[in-house]
Amino acid sequence: MTNNSLEKRKLGTQGLEVSAIGLGCMGMSHGYTPLPDRNEMIKLIRTAYDKGETFFDTAEVYGPFTNEELVGEAVEPFRKEVVIATKFGWDVANGNPGLNSRPEHIRIVVEQSLKRLRTDYIDLYYQHRVDPNVPIEDVAGTVGDLIREGKVKYWGLSEAWSETIRRAHAVTPVSALQSEYSIWFRDLEKHVLPTLEELGIGLVPFSPLGKGFLTGHIDNASQLDEKDFRRNLPRFQEDAIAVNKAIVDLIRKIADTKGATPAQIALAWLLAKKPYISPIPGTTKLVRFEENIGAADVELSQEEMNQINEASDKIEFVGGQYPEEVLKRMAR
C-alpha cells in the first residue's frame, strides 16, 4: 500500500504529474559495475513505490533492453498508478549503437518498448539524443501520431538546446526536457531554462548528484571499479577530482547545519530552483533511495541558495561533461 507521501510536481502544461523526486533505474542493469541482483532491484522498485515513488526512468539502450524489462516486471502490479519514462533514438539492434530517430524506426521501437514494459502505453517518451540526420519536426510529428493513437501520453527531449526545443514544441507540445543539471553542471541556466519557462516545459535533471560525486563519497578515481563508465569522464580524472571537491566541501558544511546529507542538499537545491524541476537520482540501495526522497523535506533559504550559487560560480570546475570526441558527435 502506497503512502503517497512524496510531493507531486507538474511537468509541462499538458497535464503530466510526477513525484518531485523520481527514481533513475539505469544503474540497476547498465553503466555501473558490478551490476546488482535483478530480483533485488525489482524488490527495490516495489519498495520505492510503497514509500510513495511514482516516477520511474528507463531507456531501451540501458542494457540494452534489460532495464526496460526490469522496470516493466517491477511495476506491473501497480502499472496504472505510476509514470514510466523511457527513450528512443538509438539503433541498438546492430550491436554498435548509433543515432536513429527516423519515423519508421520510432514506430518499430515503440512497439518493442511497450512489450518489454508490459504495458499498452508509455507515459513519457523521450528522444534520447537529437539526431542530426532527421529533422526534429519529423520526430515530433511521429510522436504526435503515437500520442493520438494512445501509445504515448506525453513526450520529451533529452540533451536538446533551445532552438531544437522550440522547433519540436511547435509541432507537438513538449512536456519535459531531460538533461544533466546539478550544482556542478549548470550549463542550462543561461539559455535553456528561460526557454522551458517561456514554453511551459518541465525539466528532469539526470545525474542530479553529479554521478555520485556530490554525495561526498568519491575522493579519488581509484575508488571506481575498472569497468565503471565514470572512469572515462573528464570530471572523474584524478586531477579534476582534486579541484572539484571544493563544491562538495561547501555542500557538506551546509548539510551539517541543516541536519541533512550532502546528497539531500544537492537535490534540495534543484527542487528550490524551479517548481517544474523533478530530478531523477539513480540508486541500487534502499537506504540511498530513502536518503534521496528525504531531500523533499529539506528547505533551503534564499540566503543558502545564494551561497551555493555564488560558490559554484567561483569554482573553475575541471573537466567537461563528456570526452571531447563524444561532445563533437552530439547534436543539440
Q: Which residues lie across from 306 on neighbouring strands?
A: none
Catalytic residue flag (residue 62): yes
Q: Which residues lie across from 126 on neighbouring strands?
A: 87, 156
Let me know: does 117 contact 86? Beta carbons within 8 Å: yes
Let me know: does 139 contact 147? Beta carbons within 8 Å: no
DSSP summary character for residue 221:
G
Let me know: does 300 contact 272? Beta carbons within 8 Å: yes
Residue holding cell 510513495?
A: 52
Given 32, 62, 125, 181, the catalytic residue: 62
Strand blocks (E) in the chain: 8-11, 16-19, 23-24, 55-57, 83-88, 90-91, 98-99, 122-127, 152-158, 176-180, 202-206
**Annotated catalytic sites, by residue?**
62
